[in-house]
């Protein structure tokens, strides 16, 4: 199954549809059913002590899964998150961007199931694990 | 089991420890093992179409559970979220604040388990359901 | 919204479609979007120490959600569990049946979202909390 | 970090502590933080139509995570499941055993976090994805 959107197309889509956050994310790698995206950590993502906040990690995992799915089905803004589970496992490193490595496990007619691991860039131990399910607009078939 | 922090004490704690977000939340009700808090929806919480973003709903559920636990164990900044599961069920109403109704199901020695429902204020159908687990600092015993 | 199946109809359905487990469960209460069912704990449900096993609690939560949904949409064997999250919070009492109290939070066109609490009968503290999502056959509309 | 229990030691432990289910499972592979175990599918694991039941898949994921953790910390029967999330993605093949591939993501002082994928043996697409968290007895340190 070929990619329907490459990194340039996904960046362009993000800038048009989510201009308020598009500058925070950077797509690093994109393969069939797999995508890596980084969060450029800024002050607004931090918690006291310099660690990245839970909502910021949630946002990164959500963007990773969303772009991963769009790369396979094309620019459908109407794909919506229906379920998310996250385990927060380690404190992210201070002054360090985060990377999410997202994988599609199922791309069905109406549901897509993904999982991802989040890392402080350069560290081998994941800071968080997430699974996200998306409801897909029916016109994608 | 008596409350260790009332609404005023929790507000004060939030302002001191999380000054960057404390203005977004308003504690409405507080009982043993139960707490209600609202998110004052601002532009930064929105997605295209005027709906509240997933990360903003996650942040509200997380704050609700955190304040709920602190009300029972006292001002321990070191309680940390270890697991969160969310079902996003309905699109929040536009131009409407959200309320989270959080309940503590277990307050153990090392783990606290909570669940909450999120509503557009005034609507009877929940927009999301969340369960959050916190690891508690050992000194609380 | 009226019930499409009452307790007798659900029992009959369970016996016909799931004869191998129907005798383990007993429907206690049924209302719009709400259902209570018990697990008659037998040796095969136990773990060493006399506690009910995790898979048995999962099975009870799953049956409770399934029957809860069928009571609202009618006898559709094809409703399938797509996602489940469980927090195991307390050890069930020995020599005590379990009760699940299931609630439907959303009954959509293609997905139903439920949550339930499990108790040792007669105890006020839940032993487990579960959320279950079902994919619904499209003919139910 | 060396293994504290190999496949033979884990099998022996399972037979002594969980005699009622030990015959259903077969350990296939064991590495640092990784373990594969199969479920020998029997009639009691099936649902109408010949598919493996949800509770049986839950049981397999739970055993895989438990053995994976014991291989790293030694024979501690008191490790208990505190949280589990499962996505059921595809119908298992009929007349086919299942294999779970479990990975430890975090082995902390008091919590272990794992994830696993379940497959019909010989099939490349997972039937389910699970994340399981265990509370560890404090003496393991």
Per-residue pLDDT at B112? 97
Residue D80's pLDDT is what? 92
Does ipTM top 0.85?
A: yes
Contact C82 D87 (CB under 8 A): yes
Report residue C10 CA to chain centroid gap: 12
Q: Is B78 on the interface with D (CB under 8 A)?
A: no
| Residue recorded with tokens 């043996």 | D121
**Residues B2-38: tens digit of each pLDDT:** 899 999 999 999 999 888 888 999 999 999 999 999 9
Which of these, B39, B37, B68, B70, lies nearest to B54 by C-alpha position?
A: B39
Give the alpha-carbon dihedral of C59, C63, C64, C66, to 10 degrees: 140
User: Which of chain B's residues have a Cβ under 8 Å away from the Cβ of C85?
Assistant: 85, 131
Q: Is the pLDDT of residue C140 over 60?
A: no
C132: tokens are: 């279950």
**Could you tell me the CA-to-CA distances from D24 to B5, C93, D21, D40, D98 in Å, in that order?**
51, 27, 6, 5, 11
Whether the Cβ atoms of residue C35 and residue C61 lie closer than 8 Å to each other = no
pLDDT at D141 over 50: no
| CA nearest to D129, candidates A106, C120, C27 | A106
| Interchain contact, C18 vs D54, CB within 8 Å | no
| Strand extents, DSSP E, D1-141 | 25-31, 34-39, 46-47, 51-52, 80-88, 98-107, 111-120, 128-135
Give me the mean pLDDT over the B110-128 stretch: 97
Enter the tokens of residue A11.
């960046």
* 8 Å CB contact between C27 and C10: yes
Q: What is the pLDDT of residue C15?
A: 93
Query: Nearest CA to C70 among C12, C118, C19?
Result: C12
Contact of D111 with D135, CB cutoff 8 Å: yes
* B56 close to B39: Cβ distance less than 8 angstroms: yes
- pTM attached to this predicted model: 0.95
User: Is D84:D61 a contact under the CB 8 Å cutoff?
Assistant: yes
Interface test with A, best of B21, B39, B53 (most A CBs within 10 A): B53
- pLDDT for res A139: 59
Say how many CB pairs under 8 Å bridge C and D.
62
Range C64-84 average pLDDT:
93
With CA atoms as reference, report the closest residue to C65 among C8, C25, C97.
Answer: C25
Going by C-beta distance under 8 Å and a sequence separation of 6 or more, which residues neighbour residue C108? B89, C136
SS3 of B14, please? Answer: helix
The verdict on C133 touching D (C-beta cutoff 8 Å) is no
Q: What is the pLDDT of residue A125?
A: 97
Pairing of strands D128-135, D51-52: unpaired
Query: Which pLDDT belongs to residue C139?
Result: 59
* CA closest to A130 among chain D residues: D131
Q: Report the neighbours of B using a cutoff of 3 or more CB pairs below 8 angstroms.
A: A, C, D
Tens of pLDDT, residues B102-117:
999 999 999 999 999 9
Q: In angstroms, rounded to a whole number, what is the distance separating the alpha carbons of residues A17 and B130?
A: 27
Are D42 and D21 in contact, with CB atoms under 8 Å apart?
no
Q: How far apart are CA A99 and CA C132, in angstroms?
A: 30
**Span D17-69, pLDDT tens digits:** 888 888 999 999 999 999 999 999 998 888 877 789 999 999 999 999 999 99
Q: Which residues contact A30 (CB under 8 A, 6 or more apart)?
A: A3, A6, A7, A10, A36, A71
C-chain CB neighbours of B108 within 8 Å are 89
CA end-to-end span of chain D, whole Å? 14
Distance from CA of B4 to the nearest CA of A (A): 23
As a residue count, chain B comes to: 141
Residues 6+ apart with CB under 8 A from C137: C76, C78, C79
Indicate yes or no: CB of C85 within 8 angstroms of CB of D83: yes
Positions of chain A with pLDDT under 50:
140-141
By residue count, chain A amounts to 141
The model's pLDDT over C31-69, given as tens digits with 9 standing for 90+, comes to: 999 999 999 999 888 887 778 999 999 999 999 999 999
Which ranges of chain A does DSSP label H, i.e. alpha helix?
7-17, 19-22, 54-73
How many Cα atoms within 13 Å fall on the side-chain side of residue D41? 21
CA dist., res. C53 & res. C49, Å (int): 10
pLDDT digit string, tens, across residues D70-112: 999 999 878 899 999 999 999 999 889 999 999 999 999 999 9
Chain-chain contact of C133 with A85 (C-beta, under 8 angstroms): no
B-chain residues near C129 (CB < 8 A):
105, 113, 115, 131
CA distance D22 to D11: 8
Neighbours of chain A (3+ CB pairs under 8 A): B, C, D
pLDDT at C82: 97
Which has more confidence, A57 or C22? A57
Confidence of residue D140 (pLDDT cuts 50, 70, 90): very low
Mean pLDDT of chain B: 93
Q: Which residues of A touch B128 (CB under 8 A)?
A: none
Amino acid B46: pLDDT? 86
In the predicted model, is pLDDT for residue C141 greater than 70?
Answer: no
Could you tell me the pLDDT band of residue B139, with boundaries at 50, 70 and 90? low
Q: How far apart are CA D100 and CA D25, in angstroms?
A: 10
Distance of alpha carbon B118 from alpha carbon D94, whole angstroms: 41
Other C-beta atoms lying within 10 Å of the C-beta of residue B117: 20
Q: Do A106 and D117 touch (CB under 8 A)?
A: no
Q: Is A51 on the interface with B (CB under 8 A)?
A: no
Above 70 in pLDDT, residue D139?
no
Q: What is the pLDDT of residue D44?
A: 86
Question: What are the structural domains, with CATH classification, of chain C?
Answer: 7-140 (3.10.129.10)
Residues of A in contact with C82 (CB under 8 A): 111, 133
* Nearest Cα to Cα of residue D72 among D141, D127, D3: D3
The tokens describing C14, both together, are 């369970």
Confidence of residue B141 (pLDDT cuts 50, 70, 90): very low
Residue C127 contacts B, CB cutoff 8 Å: no
In this model, does residue D134 exceed pLDDT 80?
A: yes
Take residue C39 and report the two structure tokens written for it. Answer: 């697990």
């Amino acid at each position: 199954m070929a990619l329907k959107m490459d990194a340039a197309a996904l960046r362009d889509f993000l800038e048009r549809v989510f201009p308020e956050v598009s500058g925070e994310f950077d797509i690093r790698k994109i393969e069939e059913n797999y995508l890596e995206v980084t969060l450029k950590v800024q002050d607004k993502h931090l918690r006291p002590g310099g660690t990245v906040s839970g909502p910021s990690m949630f946002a990164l995992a959500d963007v990773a899964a969303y772009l991963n799915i769009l790369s396979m089905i094309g620019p459908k803004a109407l794909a919506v998150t229906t379920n998310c589970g996250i385990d927060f496992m380690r404190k992210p490193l201070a002054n360090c961007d985060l990377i999410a490595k997202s994988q599609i496990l199922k791309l069905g007619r109406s549901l897509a199931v993904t999982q991802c691991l989040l890392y402080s860039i350069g560290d081998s131990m994941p800071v968080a694990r997430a699974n996200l399910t998306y409801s897909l607009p029916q016109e994608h078939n």
